[in-house]
Structure 1
Amino acid sequence: MSTDPTPASAKPLADGEIRLPAAVLWDMDGTIVDTEPLWINGEYELAAQHDAVWTEEDALTLVGSDLREAAVYIKRRIGSDMEPDEIVDWLGGRVAAGLREKQDWRPGAVELITALREAGVPQALVTMSYAYIAEPVVDALGFDAVVTGDSVTHGKPHPEPYLKAARLLGVEAADCVAIEDSRTGAASANAAGCHVVAVPHAVNVPEAPRRTIVTSLTHLSVADLARLADRGPE
């Protein structure tokens, strides 16, 4: 039995057929797995150790951010003597331990990842969590490419993470759909040229060109993503 190596996104379309995305690029924290409580609880714990006040506004400000930039913010807010990289290691270690113990999947995420794999659509994980934090999720789900916060020079909202993911998959970012839960991540993916499906979780995501906001991934199908990818520039 022969296998056609031509990507689905590059094949000629029959009448009425919708082109599949060249790839789907997934954020992790808050999109695939609910790690935000792990991060936020760690932030409160670290602030308490410094006898400092940490607020919900502080926590939500950092959702989706580059970890080192978040650590610089935390260091300033709580008056810590720890270096930013030490803060990242302290928080990241707690989140990684929590993820190894249990993965709290977001509704519909695993099912959509499975459906996309069965449809032959390449998928990448694009997360600002470092590789050792993302490892339990990568091991559980498998991806065709993985971009983590410690593998890029510029984190979200810079476009570099999504551009790198597209490059690793050998596709154009403009032909991809990115799935995000934060305004920071959505801005990164849009800046790279992706059509973004935003499924807000901890924070609101504003409307923008080439961005579709949904309340849940539960009823989102491969065909739905194909229709979005087939729209072209808006």
Structure 2
Amino acid sequence: MDGTLVDTEPYWMAAETPLIESFGGTWSHEQALQLVGMGLEDSSRILQDAGVRMQVHEIIDHLTSDVMGRLAEDGILFRPGARELLAELRAAGIKTALVTMSMRRMAQTVVDLIDFDAFDVVVAGDDVTRPKPFPDPYLQACALLGVEAADCVAIEDSPNGLRSALASGASSIGVPLMVSLAGVGAHAIWPTLEGRTVADVAEFHAARTRRGAQ
């Protein structure tokens, strides 16, 4: 979701910095980039190490509320081509799942702001025992959709997200935003989703399946 479907990563970074500074710590852009695509519990522990004297669940609640407030104030900003591709997938009758490490209340807020029925399934950070980069979030989404991971295409913007998708067995496309995806092992790197269609996704998956069968 964050960074692939909608451009909320700057909101998270903007929430982290004043929280750390309120406890006398400092937080650089490079440190913030390390949290991109990471589960919120793991991110919160890193913030604790940076000086935030709050419990993990308190940090998660604070950051989530801050980002949700920004979404309510500024609205949803889709990544280029993301809304269009999602709408075309839905029109074609293709099952879709949102797999995010954001909390469910935040994920549901974003889904509710989309002006069409975008997803069959939402798997959020508080729905899984093991977060990305473990395969569990994607495997859980596949189970809820009633499909095999090998029949799915995952689109991710972060190294942790890609590792999760790859470990699940899904054909995985990296669309980088804040951090490089070089060397993570994506089956394809698309610089942007702008101009991409259902046919492109189907062609990618078919080619990936053929290579896997060889």
TM > 0.5 fold call: yes
From 26, 40, 44, give the equivalent of 2:17: 44
More helix by share: 2
Conserved in 2, the CA contact under 8 Å of 1:159 and 1:188?
yes
* Alignment match of 2:8 (pick from 15, 27, 35): 35
Partner of 1:111: 84
10, 20, 28: which one aligns with 1:55: 28
Structure 2 contact 3–177 (Cα < 8 Å) conserved: yes
Deviations 1:36-55 (A, max 9, x none): 01100111111110111101
Quote the residue 1:183 is aligned against: 159
Contact 2:4-2:155 at 8 Å conserved across structures:
yes
Identical pairs, percent: 46
Q: Deviations over 1:31-83 (max 9, x none)?
A: 01011011001111111101111011210000000001100011111x22201
Deviation at 1:104, TM superposition (A): 0.9
1:72 corresponds to 2:45: yes
Alpha-carbon displacement from aligned partner over 1:154-185 (angstroms, at most 9, x marks no partner): 00000000000011000001110001100110
**Length, aligned pairs only:** 206
Structure 1 runs, 4 residues or longer, greater than 3 Å off: 207-210
Q: TM-score, normalised by structure 1?
A: 0.85
Structure 1 CA distance for aligned equivalents of residues 185 and 59 of structure 2 = 36
Matched residue SS, 2:188:
strand
Larger displacement relative to structure 2 (165-174 or 134-143): 134-143
Stretches of structure 1 lacking an aligned partner (at least 5 in a row): 1-27
Which residue identity does 2:53 align to in structure 1? D
Return 5+ residue gaps in structure 2 as ranges.
Answer: none
Instruction: Please state whether the residue corresponding to 1:132 is helix, strand or coil.
Output: helix
> How far apart, in 2, do the equivalents of 1:65 and 1:104 lie?
21
**Aligned in 2, Cα 1:225/1:151: closer, same or farther, shift over 3 Å?**
same
1:82 corresponds to 2:54: yes
For normalisation by structure 2, the TM-score amounts to: 0.93
**Alignment match, 2:190:** 214
* Residues 96, 134 of structure 1: 8 Å contact kept: no
User: Where in structure 2 are the equivalents of 1:8-23 lying within 5 Å?
Assistant: none
Instruction: Point out the structure with max Rg over C-alpha.
Output: 1
Greater relative contact order (Cα < 8 A, sep 6+): 1
Structure 2 Cα separation of the partners of residues 199 and 81 of structure 1: 35
| 1:93 paired to 2:65 | yes
AA of the residue aligned to 1:80: V
Q: Deviation digits for residues 67-106 of structure 1, max 9, x if unmatched?
A: 01100011111x2220111111110101112223310111
